[in-house]
Structure 1
Amino acid sequence: MKKTDELSNSQNQVSETKFTYDLDTIDLDYEISKLSKTNRHVKFKSETLNITIVSLLLSMSTAVSLINVIIPMFITSINVGFVLKYFIIAISFQVVGLYWGMIIGLLDGLLQFLIWGMSPLFRLTSALGLVVWVFLFWLLFEKLFSIYTNKSTTSRAMASFCGGIIILFIQPFVGATLTYFRLMIEVGVKDYSLLMFANTWISLMVFDLFAIILFVTTTYRIQLIISKYRQ
């Protein structure tokens, strides 16, 4: 029994000595440097992929905006191409994240200015409106209501409905407010700016409604597809 204990202790001492020796022979600085390089490489590949997807989404949003199908609606009209464009930009945060999604909104304004021209201030306010558009969908659908992690179909549908209604009122108001300040700078006539504020608010509510419906009915399925791809 005593010999067995001595043998066991001897083996433990040998193992500890070997483990200590292995630690001493490892170059920690080199291993940390190698791990850091690996992380940088992975991050670089991820950002490169994001830039590629951003370019694709931007190309798609520009392409569909060229679809010139007009649906008359009482006091305004709906351009099907622009509805699809707003839908693509809305789902961008699901594909590439909030940061890149908002950049797509800004780049769209720049691209529209380069293609069609018009007032730089008009294009800037339009781009800022798209930035707010993406931010609201991210804030309400992902952060506030956590729709993509909600397994209950009923509660998910109710949360999507509430999120859509909130955006339907806030986004057009923001867009109309930007229009008001733009006209005050460009024209300087308060009554005209107020009239266009009211007209823009109503028109955007009708226009945004179709894009919001399209987003609400497809966003969860899109998220499932994206999640499977990332896995």
Structure 2
Amino acid sequence: MLKLEHIYKWYTVGGARSFVLKDINLEIAKGDFVSIMGPSGSGKSTLLHILGLLDVPDEGRYFFRDEDVLSLKEKKRKELFQSQVGFVFQSYHLIDELTVYENIETPLIYKNLSGSERKALVADMLDRFGIVGKKDLYPNQLSGGQQQIVGIARALAVSPKLVLADEPTGNLNTQQGEDIMRLFKQLNDDGVTIIQVTHSEKNATYGKRIINLLDGQLK
């Protein structure tokens, strides 16, 4: 489904390169469930952002469904991301000025769906995650855990082929976290490819394989 070839990401500090990612080569098949682990600062989130087309490497090639995505114009990359990928952010990334309902609906607006179709999909997400009663609230009226649930609902509303999750249960209580991981497992069983960054060894075991990242390199 996706392939990274010799991916490098660096920052220039005092004229010298400080590497965040160094020579990453990775292939992930359709239907895989991969857990990326490593200490803080190892480059996990940067790698996930590159996989989600939210960041670009300084060097290397990225093929997504046999398409060389780094050679695409930014608008085309954005369209590809919005139609194929659901991203669960560690820090929610909800839009403060929009209600829970509107936050979940936002990615659907890019899918050329009718208003009634969007309404049905949002209603399904609200029901699935037990947040119907919070649909008219704004992010600042929600707890961190509730915001994370909304972020996950938003990511899944588009029926993505690929789900990228950055510490998806980091702000949830134990029960919520287990519920989300079981949901991810079910999605994966249904054919959705999932890549998660996690510090939790328990959460990592929900995946089919574990990749370790240390100092920007795969180990």
Normalization by structure 2: what TM-score? Answer: 0.30
Higher strand share: 2
Q: Which of 1 and 2 has higher RCO (CA within 8 Å, sep 6+)? A: 2
